Amino acid sequence: MKKNSWIILALITVLTTACGTSGGTSADGNSTEKESLEAQNEAQVEGNSFANDFIEMTIPSEFDGICRVENEPDRLSVIYKEGEDAGYGGLEFYVWVREVTPDYAGGPQIKIGELVSADGKDYDVVVGYPSEVQWDFNKSYSMPEDYKRIADAEKDICNTIQAVNGATYKAGAGIHGEDLYGDVLDKYVKAVSEGWDANKLEEEKMSPQFYEVATFSEGSAGDRIGFAYLDVNLDGVDELFVGEIAEGDFKGVVYDIYTVVNRQPQLVVSGSARNRYFVYDNAFIVNEYSGGAAESGSMVYNLDYNTTEMTLQWGTKYDGYENEAQPWFITYDGEEWENVTEEDYNNRVADTSKYVRFDYTPLSSLAK
């Protein structure tokens, strides 16, 4: 796990946009192929269509003169003209056809589909957003009405995307948990049906805690172990969480977490009853641990893009072994711990009311 870079999850408070032209392909420089594509889109959305080497996208005519589209070979960027003219960029959002490569580290974009080019290369189609205010905030810090209208239309605009030049685009591909983790869940069903012990589970890179759940809990193992999907790193692609179906403080407890790396499911981390995980505030992962009667703590991580690495944001612990009189500690790197007052500790400790209490789907629902 990586330690404390205080990553700002810009996608939580993302601003978006749309309209106009500039760059590689202008609105007026229409080829015969492009005119044909515009005609196809006019049946769905009345407006202007813009294309690059891979995709074509239609901007509703209501935004004529308000925004423009900047065309690059692999990207279409929607620019709010007033913000751009004022020197503040004006970016609403961009659609990027991003090649899938083993060394891609990910980034703050949301995946909306997949594309295969005419020569057979795989691409993810993602939407990206500005990280700074894109209008003249000296006039008004509030979002301009036209900027907001384009932002509100972003989803509908992205729904007009079509492939060009012999490519094939599938909207929504590669983002939903039920389409990504079938083989992983089949393995859990097999483990339950065959009664794998703790050693076998560890060998298969699964939490040995599931043996205890299966053996010592009431009811069948398939009814006591469940799964849920959630896009916890905000890249548009679901993660998979496997845990015990429980109530009270243990509701939503997670023992195995999976993510997608280069379109393949990968195990992020495994836990246990004394080293367990929860999803925190829909965008972070909390590791709760216990080191004895007088020591316990929680470490808050975010899951990085297109990798199984987690980056520590902050951690707290109660450690009476180290300081019985003042046992409260805070860390931001996982190595150096600051001894603090109880009040400071309470102001920083992870708020359990923000835990995601999954209503897990039981494994038994998948059994054939």
Q: What secondary structure does DSSP assign to 105-154, as a single string?
A: ---SEEEEEEEE-TT--EEEEEEE--SS--S-TTT-SSPPHHHHHHHHTH
Bridge partners of residue 211, in order along the sequence: none
pLDDT band (50, 70, 90) for residue 367: confident
Range of weakest confidence among 11-25, 87-101, 248-262: 11-25
Within the chain, how many helices (H) and strands (E) appear? Answer: 10, 21
Please tell me the distance from the alpha carbon of residue 191 to that of residue 52, in angstroms, as a whole number. 48
Mean pLDDT over 2-10 rounds to 47
Mean pLDDT over 206-215 rounds to 95
pLDDT recorded at residue 46: 78
On the question of pLDDT at 252 being above 80, the answer is yes
Q: Output the DSSP codes for 244-288.
A: E---GGGTT-BSEEEEEETTEEEEEEE-BTTEEEEEETTTEEEEE
Range of weakest confidence among 93-102, 223-232, 340-349: 93-102
pLDDT tens figures, 151-179: 999 999 999 999 999 999 999 999 999 99
Q: Measuring CA to CA, which residue among 159, 158, 169, 160 is closest to residue 117? A: 169
Range of weakest confidence among 13-17, 183-187, 215-219: 13-17
Q: State which H helix or E strand residue 85 sits in.
A: helix 81-85
The label of the residue with tokens 């295969």 reads 116
On the question of pLDDT at 321 being above 80, the answer is yes
On the question of pLDDT at 25 being above 60, the answer is no
On the question of pLDDT at 150 being above 70, the answer is yes
pLDDT recorded at residue 152: 97
Over the Cα atoms of the chain, what is R_g? 24
Instruction: Please give the structure tokens belonging to residue 361.
Output: 């789907």
Give Cα 116 distance to the centre of its chain: 22
Max CA-CA distance within the chain? 79
Mean pLDDT over 295-307 rounds to 95
Please tell me the distance from the alpha carbon of residue 255 to that of residue 239, in angstroms, as a whole number. 13
pLDDT tens figures, 332-359: 999 999 999 999 999 999 999 999 999 9
pLDDT band (50, 70, 90) for residue 127: very high
- Answer whether 303's CB lies under 8 Å from 310's CB: yes
* Burial of 361: CB neighbours in 10 Å, binned 0-12, 13-18, 19+: middle
pLDDT tens figures, 107-125: 679 999 999 999 999 999 9
Amino acid at 242: V
Q: Measuring CA to CA, which residue among 89, 67, 66 is closest to residue 78? A: 67
pLDDT tens figures, 44-76: 567 899 999 999 999 999 999 999 999 999 999
pLDDT recorded at residue 43: 42
Residue predicted with more confidence, 216 or 345? 345
pLDDT recorded at residue 74: 97
Between helix 182-194 and helix 209-216 the angle, nearest 10°, is 50
- Torsion of the alpha carbons at 220, 225, 227 and 233, rounded to the nearest 10: 180
Please tell me the distance from the alpha carbon of residue 164 to that of residue 49, in angstroms, as a whole number. 12
Mean pLDDT over 275-286 rounds to 98
Please tell me the distance from the alpha carbon of residue 284 to that of residue 257, in angstroms, as a whole number. 12
On the question of pLDDT at 3 being above 90, the answer is no
Q: Measuring CA to CA, which residue among 312, 180, 167 is closest to residue 238? A: 180
pLDDT recorded at residue 44: 55
Q: Measuring CA to CA, which residue among 92, 95, 23, 25 is closest to residue 63? A: 92
pLDDT recorded at residue 282: 97
Taking all residues of the chain, what is their mean pLDDT, rounded to a whole number?
89
pLDDT recorded at residue 13: 39
pLDDT band (50, 70, 90) for residue 4: low
